[in-house]
């Protein structure tokens, strides 16, 4: 076994790998960009190496810096986690050339399975069923022969980037061009393939584990059909869809797929499965790394996949056979991401002001967060994963909903509340899943408005902050914020409260509220509501709200600067990549003015109406916070007046 392993990653996966290294008595080496100097994975590792300088987003992609860090710390092996360089054949080969063990498959296996076209040909030859389709150069002709709908996919990448569903073949040429542009931008390769689209499909994957001695086994399936924008958000094991016979057949197909490329290590074979005919499963691709959702497999099998990645990489044979693997109970995972469902799931960010992550019987949290963590727009939005294990699926669903309700990340909006409501969706409870369910019903799972008790809690906090400090046992009655009136009749004390993006609300501070440094409890319509609180943020049941004091006089004096219709504010924290106008320019309604990028997502800022750009506060490269004022467009009618 290795003495020292370098973890070439960050965030929750780096923390998770370090946990197993510590349990095995192996010294861990973390790497970090300047943006991550105080990150949790840096503090939990035995030692850490800076691999800056900026741009921080590129630091974890610097192969020379990673190899240098390994050499300087005496590491004998490198664990790539997932993302970044985990499926980069060049990095795997560079590690081998430097005398380091890459904890994963060989460079040749990564290359073979990383190319979707070659992968399909290889597994088809091994007898594994594949989705009907074709690749360049006969892409467009094959798509027309297959008939709509078809799915365009980049050959070189994954994660849903560049994928386009074409239901109308009259748009096929334009969709192919757009898919090529995105594939080239994301992966440096614009090669595409086209596949027959299966309506309401289910995404089911098989975990495989192979050693260097010819042993290959599978550890059952994971159901990953709950997705948004082709990104998994909820995963569970096992799947309610599969019978023991279909599970065995899919598992055997996955093992053959792994054998076909000489695979060694932990990997995942992904299948698309028609919901109405689960016996008709098709190979999609093989992920040559540890998956984000690997904990659900660990919980139902009792196998630590990271440990066996290490042992296999060190040359140890697998000590168990296929018949030794049993699936016990049910496990479900929810991915907590820095995104704001109320703003169309745009990336969010900020400082984690208060943090409480669920734990306890049957609950596991894999997280890279600490209180004070600065969540930036430089990296992937996933912050943590909440995973539960229970004897059966209904219990697991209840347990995960409760765990998400206990998840607090004040200061950074997340999708935790949305996921909790999704897990209560009638089709999810019934197990009637497909990859389009979330997109179809997402709107119904996002509240239309801020609950009134949120405003009441904000007013209660404001009132508590105005309470005077008694001096020598006496309080000046005229300094008490009680709205006292002559005659002794109390009157409500109203406060203006604003949630960013919404109009201010005048709300009365409720009587009998209990306010502490970390919580506030208010009673509205006879129901008591308890919120976590920190720095102007309130949180409950996985949801959070940024509540701000509102001064109507100051807002009136400052006009558009306080969120008027003329103001263009950043919808998410990020970097301004494009500025198309200057102060004084005439613009039309809907005209693109700026582009803000965060977490590999671009958002175009358009003119709200025709007028003149009277203020512009950013330039290309400017880093902006959520709701920061970017520009002001004064409408033409005001100019004429």
At 512, is the pLDDT very low, low, confident or very high (cuts 50, 70, 90)? confident
Count Cβ neighbours within 10 Å for each residue of 55-74 and write b for 16 or more, e otherwise: ebbebbebbebbbebbeebe
367 compared with 500, residue with greater pLDDT: 367
pLDDT for 487: 63
Give the least confident one: 125-139, 238-252, 515-529.
125-139
**pLDDT of 560 strictly over 50:** no
The answer to which of 166-170, 257-261, 289-293 has the lowest mean pLDDT is 166-170
Report how far residue 568's alpha carbon sits from residue 501's, in angstroms, rounded to the nearest whole number.
11
Confidence of residue 320 (pLDDT cuts 50, 70, 90): very high
Lowest mean pLDDT among 132-146, 462-476, 538-552: 462-476
Torsions phi, psi for 487 (to 5 deg): 95, -5
| Dihedral angle over CA of 280, 284, 288, 291, nearest 10 | -80
Model confidence at 275, pLDDT cuts 50, 70, 90, reads confident
pLDDT one-digit tens code per residue, 185-236: 888 888 998 988 888 899 999 999 999 999 999 999 999 999 998 899 999 9
What are residue 560's phi and psi, to 5 degrees? -65, -25
Q: Look at residue 198 in the predicted model and tell me its pLDDT.
A: 87
* CA atoms of 425 and 433, how far apart (whole Å): 10
Crossing angle of helices 116-125 and 107-114, rounded to 10°: 100
- In the predicted model, is pLDDT for residue 556 greater than 50? yes
What pLDDT does residue 283 have?
95
In degrees, rounded to 5, the angle at the alpha carbon of residue 377 between the alpha carbons of residues 372 and 380 is 95
Domains of the chain by range and CATH? 4-103 (3.40.50.20), 132-196 (3.30.1490.20), 201-445 (3.30.470.20), 452-466+492-549 (no CATH), 562-640 (2.40.50.100)
Cα–Cα distance for residue pair 521/495, rounded to 1 Å: 17
Q: Kindly tell me if the per-residue pLDDT of 59 is higher than 60.
A: yes
* Per-residue pLDDT band at 474 (split at 50, 70, 90): low
For residue 56, which phi and psi values (nearest 5 degrees)?
A: -60, -35
Q: Supply φ then ψ for residue 229, to 5 degrees.
A: 55, 45
- Among the listed residues 411, 346, 347, 407, the one whose alpha carbon sits nearest the alpha carbon of residue 374: 411
pLDDT at 417: 98
List the one residue out of 482, 448, 333 whose CA is nearest residue 396.
Answer: 333
Q: pLDDT, tens digit, for every residue of 355-410?
A: 999 999 999 999 999 999 999 888 889 999 999 999 999 999 999 999 999 999 99
Average pLDDT over residues 31-39: 94
Per-residue pLDDT tens digits for 172-193:
999 999 889 888 888 888 899 8
Q: Is the confidence at residue 481, as pLDDT, over 80?
A: no
Per-residue pLDDT, 561: 47
pLDDT averaged over every residue in the chain: 91
Residue 426 in this model has a pLDDT that exceeds 90: yes
3-state secondary structure of 282: strand
For range 468-473, the mean pLDDT: 62
- Give the C-alpha separation, 278 to 400, whole Å: 27
Pairing of strands 216-228, 623-624: unpaired
Residue 492: what pLDDT? 67
pLDDT at 603: 87
Higher pLDDT, 471 or 95: 95
∠ CA 483-486-491, rounded to 5°: 30
Residue carrying structure tokens 């229970």: 390
Find the range with the poorest average confidence among 278-292, 319-333, 565-579, 627-641. Answer: 627-641
pTM for this entry:
0.88
- According to the model, what pLDDT value does residue 117 have? 83
- Parallel/antiparallel/unpaired status of strands 201-210 and 265-274: antiparallel
Of 139 and 501, the one with more pLDDT: 139
pLDDT at 553 over 80: no
Percent of the chain with pLDDT over 90: 73
Percent of the chain with pLDDT over 70: 92
Q: Give the integer Cα–Cα distance in Å for 272 and 284.
A: 6
DSSP 8-class letter at 513: -
């Amino acid at each position: 076994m290795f003495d020292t392993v370098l973890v070439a990653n960050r965030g929750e996966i780096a923390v998770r790998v370090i946990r197993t290294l510590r349990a095995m008595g192996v010294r861990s080496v973390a790497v970090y960009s300047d943006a991550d100097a105080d990150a949790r994975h840096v503090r939990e590792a035995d030692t850490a190496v800076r691999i800056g300088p900026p741009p921080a987003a590129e630091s974890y992609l610097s192969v020379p810096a990673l190899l240098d860090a390994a050499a300087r710390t005496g590491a004998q092996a490198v664990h790539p986690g997932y993302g970044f360089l985990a499926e980069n054949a060049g990095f795997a080969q560079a590690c081998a050339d430097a005398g380091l063990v890459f904890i994963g498959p060989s460079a040749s296996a990564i290359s073979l399975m990383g190319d979707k076209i070659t992968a399909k040909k290889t597994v088809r030859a091994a007898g594994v069923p594949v989705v009907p389709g074709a690749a360049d150069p006969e892409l467009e002709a094959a798509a027309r022969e297959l008939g709509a709908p078809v799915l365009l996919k980049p050959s070189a990448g994954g994660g849903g980037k560049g994928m386009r569903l074409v239901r109308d073949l009259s748009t096929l040429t334009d969709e192919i061009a757009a898919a090529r542009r995105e594939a080239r931008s994301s992966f440096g390769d614009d090669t595409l393939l086209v596949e027959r689209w299966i309506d309401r499909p289910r995404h089911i994957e098989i975990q495989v584990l192979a050693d260097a001695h010819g042993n290959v086994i599978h550890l059952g399936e994971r159901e990953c059909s709950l997705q948004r924008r082709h990104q998994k958000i909820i995963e569970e094991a096992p799947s309610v869809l599969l019978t023991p016979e279909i599970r065995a057949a899919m598992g055997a197909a996955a093992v053959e797929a792994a054998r076909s490329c000489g695979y060694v290590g932990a990997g995942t074979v992904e299948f698309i499965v028609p919901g109405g005919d689960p016996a008709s499963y098709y190979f999609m691709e093989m992920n040559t790394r540890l998956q984000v959702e690997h904990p659900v497999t660990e919980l139902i099998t009792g196998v630590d996949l990271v440990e066996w990645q290490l042992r296999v990489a060190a040359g140890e044979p697998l000590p168990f056979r296929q018949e030794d693997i049993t699936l016990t109970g049910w496990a479900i995972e929810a991915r907590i991401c820095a995104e704001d469902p109320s703003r169309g799931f745009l990336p969010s960010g900020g400082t984690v002001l208060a943090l409480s992550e669920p734990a306890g019987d049957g609950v596991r949290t894999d997280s890279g967060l600490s209180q004070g963590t600065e969540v930036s727009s430089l990296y992937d939005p996933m912050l943590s994963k909440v995973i539960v294990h229970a004897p059966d699926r209904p219990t697991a669903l209840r347990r995960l909903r409760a765990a998400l309700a206990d998840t607090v990340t004040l200061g950074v909006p997340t999708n935790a509340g949305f996921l909790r409501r999704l897990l209560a969706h009638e089709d999810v409870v019934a197990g009637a899943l497909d990859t389009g369910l979330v997109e179809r019903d997402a709107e119904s799972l996002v509240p239309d408005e801020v609950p009134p008790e949120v405003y009441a809690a904000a007013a209660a906090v404001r009132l508590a902050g105005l309470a005077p400090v008694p001096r020598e046992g006496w309080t000046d009655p005229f300094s008490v914020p009680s709205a006292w009136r002559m005659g002794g009749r109390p009157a409500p004390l109203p406060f203006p409260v604003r949630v960013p993006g919404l109009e201010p609300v005048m709300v009365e501070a409720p009587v009998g509220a209990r306010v502490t440094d970390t919580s506030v409890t208010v009673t509205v319509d006879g129901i008591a509501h308890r919120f976590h609180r920190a720095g102007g943020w309130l949180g409950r049941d996985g949801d959070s709200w940024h509540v701000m004091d509102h001064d109507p006089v100051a807002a009136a004096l400052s006009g558009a600067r306080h969120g008027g219709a003329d103001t263009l504010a950043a919808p998410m924290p990020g970097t301004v990549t494009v500025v198309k106008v200057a102060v004084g320019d005439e613009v039309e309604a809907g005209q693109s003015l700026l582009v803000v990028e965060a977490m590999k997502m671009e958002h175009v800022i358009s003119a709200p109406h025709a007028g003149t750009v009277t203020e512009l506060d950013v330039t290309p490269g400017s880093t902006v916070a959520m709701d920061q004022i970017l520009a002001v467009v004064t409408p033409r009618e005001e100019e004429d007046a």
